[in-house]
Amino acid sequence: MAGTRSGATESKIDELKSAYAPESTGKSPEFVQGLRAELPTGTFLTSDRLDQAFSHDKWFAKAYLVPDRRALVLVATGT
Residue pLDDT, tens place only, 13-38: 999 999 999 999 998 898 888 888 88
Helix (H) or strand (E) holding 34: helix 33-36
Residue 51 is predicted with a pLDDT of 96
pLDDT-derived band at 3 (thresholds 50, 70, 90) equals very low
Domain boundaries along the sequence of the chain: 2-25+43-78
Q: Is 46 left (phi over 0), alpha (psi -120 to 50) or beta?
A: beta
Residue 9 is predicted with a pLDDT of 66
Residue partners of 2: CB distance under 8 A and separation at least 6: none
In tens, the pLDDT along 44-66 reads: 999 999 999 999 999 999 999 99
Residue 33 is predicted with a pLDDT of 84
- Of residues 56 and 1, which shows the higher confidence score? 56
The residue among 24, 34, 30, 33 whose CA lies nearest residue 65 is 24
Residue 35 is predicted with a pLDDT of 86
Tell me how long the chain is: 79
The residue among 34, 39, 44, 35 whose CA lies nearest residue 66 is 44
